[in-house]
Amino acid sequence: MIFNEKPISIYDFDSWVKSNGKIEQMEAIRSIKSLHLLKESNEICILNPVFRKNLRNVLTGSEIGVSFGIPCDTDDLNKVDIEFLDNYASKKWETILHFMVGTELNEIPSAGVLSLLRHSGLMDGKTPKAMVITNEGFQFLLQDVNAQLWALLLQYLRMAESLQMDPVDVLNFIFMLGSLELGKDYSLSVLSETQLNMLEDLRDYGLIYQRKTTSKRFYPTRLATTLTSDSTTLRSASSAMNNVIKNANDNIGSNIENAGSIIIETNFKLYAYTNSPLQIAVLNLFVHLKSRFENLVTGQITRESVRKALLNGITADQIVSYLETHAHPQLRKLAEEQYEKKLEYDANTKEKLHILQPNITDQIKLWQLELDRILTWDGYLFTDFANDSEYQILQTYAEEIGVLLWFDHSKKKFFVTKEGNSQVIAYANRKLRKK
Amino acid sequence: MPRAIKGVLVECDASIRALIVRIDSERHDVVIQELDETHLLIDSTKVEFVKNELNRLLAKNTYNPLEEEELAAAN
């Protein structure tokens, strides 16, 4: 289809694909259709001409495009390695996160970052000193880095328009960054005016590295190259939290141990030896905090407090693993003693070490299950079939294209998704009208 | 010709299904068809209502340790 200018009949697709790959085929067609790359009319398909031309260029390398960036021809005298880039990126990014939770920092993020945080509603306040984190900001902190980056970049895109920057250029550059290779240096020569302006901002977020502002080359960091993929970023959501907390404690210079400050009793009472505002803030997400002392907060885990967290998109597993990784050494010791006793009694026990009391973990998980007691799908119920064969034909078809959600042979009824409905109806019209 | 009915398919366990049917018994405008033990077809505009009702009904049967304390504090 890339090299063939003529439109193609929809039935030709079927002959290209083995019959057992039907579901995959439907999926593929559906996804390229939803991107408007493929137009279908009267059972004839046409590929978007711009997409076709560019894809052909990339495959054959005939015309030099900018979509994948231009690597530098000459060697950089001050070459940097991947490890350096990683450090650089996480340092920049963490500065932003730390600023958000109000950790005392030596350097605060640049004015560009601050106004971005303010405009995206993650923080409130006019002067850098007076800025405080909002509710959305907390949820933002719990997301993984990729989601955080995209949230900020989307906001950047919205702001770009008011700053008289061409949003298409901005978006182009973001996507280009996603397809660059980590650890390579790229030339600035092909970038437009707007994109050159962007460089400065992206440097502040830690997406790219430039040795000097006047440098003619830039390095994408891991944050940038994983933008368009879901492969592991610098760190996952929960480890991000741990990292932040670990560093927060280091920075405050308190003598509290990094991990290990939370004690939780079997009656769901919780004591946390901490004075880190971030850790207290995180606990506040799923614990009903009661009192706060110099180096201790107490609270209670309740159904309501856990539900609140769950509704905010935090999972039970996250809560449990948070409590486990931050469990007090005493709690850990107790759990290990019990575990050893169990091992003595039965050396082959398959049980794992439970740092938290099982009733706590179970209950938190139960509360999560309680929230999704029902599963719902929008769609259409097909009923009133005249005979078995009509039902069979349509039901098999719906199953083949992967839109069937429920069926009952004896009652001759089945349910398809909203998206699949039009396809099934079109098929029904083709098949059943013929007779 | 077969007929296609627009709606929302609900999958749940039998106890929840019974609760939904009970909610419907008061209003008769929620459930379109009862499909089987664990499936119901309901009106797509009523999904939020059903979820809220379920939460309300289920919340009745839970123990909240804080309530007692707060009551005690109030007295």
Query: Per-residue pLDDT averaged across A267-279, rounded?
Result: 80
pLDDT at A168: 79
Asked if residue A154 has pLDDT above 70, the reply is yes
Least confident of A245-259, A273-287, A328-342: A245-259
Inter-chain CB proximity A406 and B5 less than 8 Å: no
Highest mean pLDDT among A256-260, A337-341, A379-383, B11-15: A379-383
Point out the residue among B4, B11, B44 whose CB comes nearest to the CB of A382: B4
Helix A303-311 to helix A316-325 angle (10° resolution) is 110
pTM above 0.80, yes or no: no
Which percentage of chain B shows pLDDT scores above 90?
Answer: 0
What is d(CA A5, CA A32) in angstroms, rounded to the nearest whole number? 18
- What's the sign of the alpha-carbon dihedral A179, A183, A186, A191? positive
**Every domain of chain A and the residues it spans:** 8-60, 82-225, 237-371, 379-434
Contacts of A342 (CB under 8 A, 6+ apart): A349, A351
| C-alpha to C-alpha distances, A66 to A54, A148, A175, A404, nearest whole angstrom | 11, 26, 11, 43
Reported confidence tier of residue A72, pLDDT bands at 50, 70, 90: low
Contacts of A265 (CB under 8 A, 6+ apart): none
Domains and CATH numbers, chain B: 7-74 (3.30.70.1220)
Q: Which tens digit of pLDDT belongs to each residue from A160-177?
A: 777 777 777 787 777 777
> Yes or no: is domain A379-434 CATH 3.40.462.20?
no
Contact residues of A toward B, CB < 8 A? 267-268, 288, 300, 302-304, 370, 373-386, 390-391, 394, 405-406, 408, 411, 413, 415, 421, 425, 428, 432
Distance from CA of B25 to the nearest CA of A (A): 19
pLDDT at A239: 47
Cβ-based contacts of B13 with chain A (< 8 Å): 373
Contact residues of B toward A, CB < 8 A? 1-13, 16, 20, 32-33, 35-36, 39, 41, 44, 47, 50-51, 54, 58, 62, 64-66
